Amino acid sequence: MRRIHTDGSCRGNPGPGGWAWAEGTDSYASGAAPHTTNQRMEVMAVIEALGTHPEGAVEIVSDSTYVVKCFHDKWHAGWLRRGWKNSQGQPVANRDLWEVLIPMVLESDREVRFTWVKGHSGDPMNDFVDSLATAAADSQRGRRSGAH
């Protein structure tokens, strides 16, 4: 199973943002958005990671409870059942991105697992993707390296 770390960053919320994924320190990518939120960048990082690695089992490691709980706690099932309303009856935030990510996870023939890691806690790979996402947010330019 591939293990891919993801992270999102935003300078101001909303503000300039960045996303990143890495499968080790030799295979990674990052990108940016000029006006976004941290939550959007967290989801975008996973979309980009899964889109770049379309086959085989994948473990996504993220410090985003927003992303991880969507799948662990099956928030997506409630959203769909309620017509894209959250548990408070409000429209689901970032629906446009969730409409891309949820099928990538649930409608694919491969296993996609989510693991939460505490951010800024000294986990080397979490720190690595955080630095990539932060650099993308600051520079508004992405980076790509390694075999994909």
- Could you read off the pLDDT of 19-70 as tens digits, one per residue? 999 999 999 999 999 999 999 999 999 999 999 999 999 999 999 999 999 9
Higher pLDDT, 83 or 120: 83
Phi and psi torsions of 7, nearest 5°: -160, 155
126-143 pLDDT, tens digit per residue, is 999 999 999 999 999 999
Q: Which residues lie closer than 8 Å to 96 by C-beta, 6 or more apart?
A: none
Element (H, E) at 132: helix 124-139
Fold of the CATH domain 2-68+111-145: Nucleotidyltransferase; domain 5 (3.30.420)
Q: Where are the domains of the chain?
A: 2-68+111-145
pTM for the whole structure? 0.96
At 148, is the pLDDT very low, low, confident or very high (cuts 50, 70, 90)? low
Instruction: Tell me if the bond preceding 14 is cis, omega within 30° of 0.
Output: yes
Judged by DSSP in three states, 17 sits in strand
